[in-house]
């Protein structure tokens, strides 16, 4: 077996016994961070001197160009000097790499194992000052792995301490009367102290807007939507400059509501109102929030923008408005809970009485939001849409033959789709079986020394890719199988429901009609340019098309 020739004329095999020559090239890698210097006494000169001494002792020479130094975290392999070192190793331009400790290469065990294997495949010896015995003994490998695990554990422990200290420091600053860093309430300026902490000062322009919002809400009796519309027309800057889904300078009613209920404007800001919780899908990351009891909140004094009487009056009016929204309607509407949608913007339409007291439905999207979704007309009379939709539903339910034919057509389509799914499933199942056979074959070839470790890993990676692709396709087929099954169940349930309600349709009350719309999940979409509303739901859409055409 041939060995690669190095630039100095020696072979890799000769380089494995460095005491035969004093000209064997090597490299040194050192890495440092502030925490490392404080905790372990690491410094760049200390590491480099120790590595140079070990290199001379073992008969290696290290040119100045082969000393690589990084001031980067050890959790990432993407380090400038380290990348150059790995390129040198891949080109086999050095025969050994010296580091002071294993965690100088990386603090992650997976990275340490990857780098050790990378150096070994290139024929480059890895020499560690704190582990002078470089022999590949089980004890040395165990010690190397354990050290890597400890280094990763130490980093995780340090990270947990940093997070805990950060949270504790924030609570301490809040208890000392300092406002938290982050998004400030509208109406205030964030003033950072020369040392630690910060406080709020009133922004005169924004505070004037806040006080005006309370006056418009209480004295003028305007709703949040109307206040937002007025501020937008007057081009008053919004708190964030832009709002999600709206152009810059457009006030959102939710922003007005938040200002009206924000207790900070009374002169007291509360911190520590929420607590992070581990996520359900990934317990290692805290992605959820839990609201803490009010007695655990931390009060921070800030300048007041409004008085308590004004704020309390605003809260009373907010409660009254909520109660009014739940009060019995003056007209019994057929479409509630979003059963009627606006075809111009997709928003749900709600019941509304016009100036003459006639009932109708209106899209309540604010007019000043027409820059997002233009509206040509916003309302339709109840007498113009309710009978049309209910007549179409009633006519569809009274045509069991059409429903049965359409559902039978769906069953035929589902049967054809089921056959296709079965054929695909068999194909991907055979692919998985072939992957198992191929993997066993390559394992046998590796154990029989027909192929080396690098070839085996390459073959195994190719098999893993094919296996993952087949498993992904089988998962997709499982989802389609579930849809087919649900379609069949829904079809049987629909036929049973239609048969039960058909005889009583003519005598249904308004509440019973609403129950039918809910049971069949009927939704109507109205557009001023459409001759008839679009009806969708549990019944096949073809049925509504047939009955609509027959009613012309």
The encoded tokens of residue 541 equal 């859409």
Which residue reads 């309540």 in tokens?
Answer: 364
Which residue reads 């027959």 in tokens?
Answer: 550
The residues spanned by each domain of the chain are 12-156, 188-267+302-326, 333-421+480-552
| pLDDT recorded at residue 11 | 38
H or E element that contains 404:
helix 400-447
Question: For residues 249 and 232, is the Cβ–Cβ distance under 8 A?
Answer: yes
Question: For residues 278 and 286, is the Cβ–Cβ distance under 8 A?
Answer: yes
| pLDDT recorded at residue 377 | 82
Report how far residue 261's alpha carbon sits from residue 361's, in angstroms, rounded to the nearest whole number.
Answer: 30
Report how far residue 97's alpha carbon sits from residue 84's, in angstroms, rounded to the nearest whole number.
Answer: 13
| pLDDT recorded at residue 325 | 57
Report how far residue 266's alpha carbon sits from residue 306's, in angstroms, rounded to the nearest whole number.
Answer: 6
The CATH number assigned to the domain with range 12-156 reads 3.40.50.1390
Question: For residues 385 and 378, is the Cβ–Cβ distance under 8 A?
Answer: no
| pLDDT recorded at residue 142 | 61
128-148 burial code (b ≥16 CB/10 A, e <16): bbeeeeeeeeeeeeebbeebb
Instruction: Identify the three-state secondary structure at position 394.
Output: helix
H or E element that contains 277:
strand 274-277
Residue 545 CB neighbour total at 10 angstroms:
13
Which residue reads 């910060």 in tokens?
Answer: 198
The CATH number assigned to the domain with range 188-267+302-326 reads 3.90.1750
Of 294, 260, 255, nearest in space to 274 by CA:
294
From the number of C-beta atoms within 10 Å of its C-beta (0-12, 13-18, 19+), residue 113 rates as: middle
| pLDDT recorded at residue 1 | 39
25-49 burial code (b ≥16 CB/10 A, e <16): bbbbbbbbeeebeeeeebebeebbe
Q: How far is CA 528 from the centre of its chain?
A: 38
| pLDDT recorded at residue 307 | 92
354-383 burial code (b ≥16 CB/10 A, e <16): eeeeebbbbbebbebbeeeeebeebbbebe
329-351 burial code (b ≥16 CB/10 A, e <16): eeeebbbeeebbbbbbbeebbbb
Is the pTM above the cut of 0.85?
no
Q: What is the pLDDT along the chain (552 residues), one digit of tens a residue?
A: 334 333 333 334 334 444 444 568 999 999 887 555 544 556 788 899 999 999 998 889 999 999 999 888 887 788 889 999 999 999 999 999 999 888 888 877 667 777 887 888 889 998 888 876 655 555 456 656 665 665 666 666 666 667 677 777 777 888 888 888 777 899 999 998 887 788 999 999 999 999 999 999 998 888 888 898 899 888 888 887 544 445 557 888 888 999 999 999 999 999 888 887 777 666 666 677 788 888 889 899 999 999 999 999 999 888 877 655 544 455 678 888 788 998 888 888 888 887 777 888 988 777 766 665 677 788 899 888 888 888 888 877 777 666 666 666 666 666 777 777 888 888 888 888 988 998 888 888 888 778 888 888 888 888 888 888 788 888 877 777 776 666 565 556 666 667 667 667 777 888 788 877 877 778 899 998 888 888 887 665 555 554 455 554
269 phi and psi angles, rounded to 5 deg: -105, 145
């Amino acid at each position: 077996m041939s060995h690669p020739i190095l630039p100095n004329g020696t072979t890799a095999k000769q380089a494995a016994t460095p005491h035969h020559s004093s000209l064997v090239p090597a490299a040194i890698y050192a890495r440092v961070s502030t925490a490392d210097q404080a905790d372990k006494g690491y410094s760049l000169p200390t590491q480099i001197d120790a590595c140079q001494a070990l290199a001379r002792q073992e008969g290696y020479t290290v040119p100045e160009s082969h000393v690589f130094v990084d001031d980067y975290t050890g959790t990432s392999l993407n380090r400038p000097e380290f990348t150059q070192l790995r390129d040198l190793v891949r080109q086999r331009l050095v025969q050994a790499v010296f580091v002071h400790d294993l965690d100088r290469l990386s603090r992650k065990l997976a990275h340490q194992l990857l780098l050790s294997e990378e150096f070994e495949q290139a024929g480059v010896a890895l020499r560690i000052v704190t582990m002078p015995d470089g022999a590949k003994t089980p004890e040395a490998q165990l010690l190397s792995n354990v050290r890597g695990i400890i280094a990763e554990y130490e980093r995780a422990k340090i990270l947990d301490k940093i997070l805990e200290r950060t949270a504790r420091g924030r609570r301490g600053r809040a208890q000392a009367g300092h406002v938290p860093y982050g998004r400030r309430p509208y109406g205030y300026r964030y003033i950072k102290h020369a040392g630690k902490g910060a406080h709020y000062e009133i922004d005169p322009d924004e505070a004037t807007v806040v006080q005006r919002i309370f006056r418009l809400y209480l004295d003028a009796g305007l709703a949040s939507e109307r206040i937002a519309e007025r501020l937008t027309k007057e081009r008053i800057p919004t708190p964030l400059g832009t709002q999600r889904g709206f152009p810059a300078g457009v006030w959102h009613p939710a922003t007005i509501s938040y200002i009206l209920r924000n207790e900070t404007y009374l002169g007291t800001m509360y911190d520590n109102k929420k607590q992070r919780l581990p996520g359900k899908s990934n317990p290692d990351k805290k992605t959820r929030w839990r609201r803490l009891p009010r007695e655990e909140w931390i009060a921070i004094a800030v300048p007041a923008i409004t008085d308590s009487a004004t704020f309390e009056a605003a809260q009373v009016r907010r409660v009254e408005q909520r109660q009014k929204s739940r009060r019995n309607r003056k007209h019994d509407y057929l479409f509630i809970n979003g059963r009627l949608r606006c075809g111009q913007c997709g928003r749900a339409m709600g019941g509304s009485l016009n100036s003459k007291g006639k009932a109708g439905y209106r899209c309540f999207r604010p007019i000043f939001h027409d820059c997002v979704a233009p509206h040509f007309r916003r309302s339709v009379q109840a007498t113009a849409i309710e009978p049309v939709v209910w007549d179409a539903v009633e006519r569809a339910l009274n045509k069991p033959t059409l429903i049965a034919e359409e559902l039978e057509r769906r069953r035929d389509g589902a049967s054809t789709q089921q056959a296709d799914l079965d054929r695909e499933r068999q194909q991907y199942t055979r692919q998985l079986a072939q992957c198992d056979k191929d993997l066993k074959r390559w394992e046998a070839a590796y154990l029989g020394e027909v192929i080396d470790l690098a070839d085996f890993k390459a073959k195994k990676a190719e098999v893993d890719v094919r296996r993952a692709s087949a498993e992904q396709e089988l998962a997709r087929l499982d989802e389609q199988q579930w849809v087919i099954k649900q379609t069949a169940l829904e079809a049987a349930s629909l036929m049973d429901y239609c048969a039960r309600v058909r005889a009583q349709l003519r005598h249904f009350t308004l509440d019973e009609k609403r129950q039918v719309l809910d049971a069949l999940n009927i939704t109507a979409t109205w557009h001023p340019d459409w001759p008839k509303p679009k009806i969708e739901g549990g019944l096949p859409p073809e049925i509504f098309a047939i009955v609509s055409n027959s009613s012309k």
